Amino acid sequence: MWILLKKKLLSFLILAVFLMSLCVSVSGVVAKEPTALQKSPFVTPEIKNIDFEKVSGTEKVKNGTEVSIKVVLTNISGEIGKSTLTFYSDLVGAEGHIREEVLKSGSSYTLDPQEVGEKFVVIWSGTAPEVEKQEPCTLLNITQETTEKVYLVVDIKEDVTSEIIESALSALHKAEEAVGSANGTIANATKEGINVEAAQTSLDLAKVHLNTSRERYSKGMPEEALEEANNAFESAKEAEEEAKGAVVSTESTNYVIIAAVVIIVVVVVVFLIMHRRRKREIY
Q: Alpha-carbon torsion 256, 260, 265, 267, what sign?
A: positive
Taking the C-alpha atoms of residue 67 and residue 90, their distance in angstroms, rounded to an integer, is 11
pLDDT digits (tens, 9 = 90+) for 115-165: 888 788 999 999 999 999 999 999 999 999 999 999 999 999 999 999 999
CATH code of the domain in which 200 resides:
1.20.140
How many domains are contained in the chain?
Answer: 2
Taking the C-alpha atoms of residue 156 and residue 122, their distance in angstroms, rounded to an integer, is 13
* In a shared domain, residues 57 and 76: yes
* Per-residue pLDDT, 21: 43
Residues 6+ apart with CB under 8 A from 40: 144, 151, 152, 153
CB 228 within 8 A of CB 176: no
Residue type, 55: V
What 8-state DSSP symbol labels residue 41?
S
* In a shared domain, residues 53 and 155: yes
**The pTM of the whole model exceeds 0.95:** no
Domain residues for 261?
165-274
pLDDT digits (tens, 9 = 90+) for 65-83: 999 999 999 999 888 889 9
CB 90 within 8 A of CB 138: yes
Task: Identify the domain boundary among 126, 161, 196.
Answer: 161
Q: Is residue 283 part of a domain?
A: no
* In a shared domain, residues 143 and 187: no
Q: Which of 206, 225, 86 is nearest to 166 (CA)?
A: 225
Q: Which of 171, 235, 243 is nearest to 205 (CA)?
A: 235
Edge-to-edge strand ranges of the sheet holding 44-52: 44-52, 66-74, 120-127, 92-98, 101-104
Q: Is residue 100 part of a domain?
A: yes
Taking the C-alpha atoms of residue 239 and residue 241, their distance in angstroms, rounded to an integer, is 6
pLDDT digits (tens, 9 = 90+) for 87-126: 999 999 999 999 889 999 999 999 998 888 878 899 999 9
Q: Is residue 37 part of a domain?
A: no
